[in-house]
Amino acid sequence: MTRTGKCFAVSMITVCQLMALALWFSATAVLPQLRAEFDLGALQSSLFTSSVLFGFVLGTLISAVLGLADRIEPRRFWAASALIASTANILILTVPIDGGIVIALRVVTGICMAGIYPIGMKMVATWSRGDTGFLVGVLVGALTLGSALPHLFSVVVPLDWRWVIVAASVSAYAAAIVILFVDLGGTPGASPRFDPRMVGHIWANKPLRYACYGYFGHMWELYAMWGWIGLFLYSSLSDRLVENPGVWSALSTFGIVGIGAFGSLAGGYFADRIGRTTVTIAAMCISGLCALLVGALADAPFAVLFVICLVWGLSVIADSAQFSSCVIELADPHQVGTALTLQNAIGFIIALLSIHLVPVVADAFGWWGAFAMLSIGPLLGVLAMIRLRMMPEARLLAGGKK
């Protein structure tokens, strides 16, 4: 296995991940146009994002319980998931946007994401040679850029929102074909299974529980920020009477979400060197402060607002992979699969709640109130990680670097 072969294969898997994960936020990216054309309310608007998260939780549980990642060859599993998700996404164009069927299609897309994102990590892991942390950071970076990609589609393709949906689906269709020809670096290892009988034992593990608390605070903020920052910027630019606010808000959102890819890589790099709790605490302090500032700066010069949003986008994802790393390092080896599944399931359910609360709070108290509400998550997450850092078991993290 040559270095060139590894670099090419990992690069291709990463590119395919990026192209397919554009489906995740394809409808969210065009929410300003959808709300204007169909007069969507806060609930329906929230469901465009939250239904995908719900589907992802459901898909992850199904895959873990049935062991699909071990029963189906990973490239075929990934390709089939991408094909189904792409089809569900493009079918949005054939149903009423303000009805229930479109939300059901978004749920299907989310279910299929469980066959894309985790399976991509499984394929990359076959090439790991002592650099797993870096490779996971690359894949989280792909998730971040993939989430930002639809906002770029809304600018580089004709502005009609339908073309953004088409572009995201075509992107994923192409990735489904390409992934079938990518080499793996070895035989994929068995995926850790979910065993509900272990839940009580896992929750009794105090250090592991506090690592989960930190992740829950992170998830309260992350997807709500990604889901609503575009509409906030569109509203801010419209209030300033900026020409083509849709174009500028889409470009700005692409930059704000996309820059998180660099935050993810940096977070992984520094966590291995200075400690996981150090990085997670620093990232949540910065992102929580940004959440407090952004809404308050809605009327400030746009350059100032944009820079703060960039810092928010960089910091809000920088700690994400480290919470999973904490679980892997703190859990008993035979409980890792159940612990990760439990952590992710509860975390995404918490994200569902915050996504739906943002527009309600924004309508009642403005964007400052909505984003300030998100800062509660990082605050509680910081407290949890400080508590974890003080425990003797913290020496198990990052080779003793905490």
Which residues, 6+ apart, have CB-to-CB distance to 270 below 8 Å? 278, 279
Two structure tokens written together for 263? 């935050």
Could you tell me which of 14, 2, 90 has the C-alpha nearest to residue 264?
Answer: 14
Q: What is the DSSP string of 162-192?
A: HHHHHHHHHHHHHHHHHGGGPPPSSPPPPPP
pLDDT at 155: 76
Max CA distance (Å), the chain: 59
| Average pLDDT estimate for 243-256 | 86
For 215-243, letters b (16+ CB in 10 Å) and e give: bbbbbbbbbbbbbbbbbbbbbbbeeeeee
Predicted pLDDT at 190: 64
CA angle 86, 87, 90 (to 5 degrees): 85
Global pTM? Answer: 0.83
The overall average pLDDT reported for the chain is 86
* Domain architecture of the chain: domains with CATH: 1-182 (1.20.1250.20), 195-402 (1.20.1250.20)
Over residues 344-396, the pLDDT tens digits come to 888 989 998 998 899 999 989 999 999 999 999 999 999 999 999 998 887 87
Tokens describing residue 290? 């940004």
The number of residues in the chain equals 402
Q: Mean pLDDT over residues 193-217, rounded? A: 84
Residue 65 contacts residue 342 (beta carbons within 8 Å):
no
Per residue in 33-90, pLDDT (tens digit) is 888 888 888 788 888 888 998 999 899 888 877 878 778 888 999 999 999 999 999 9
Residues 132-164: pLDDT tens digits? 666 777 778 887 888 788 878 777 766 678 888
3-state class (DSSP) for residue 27: coil
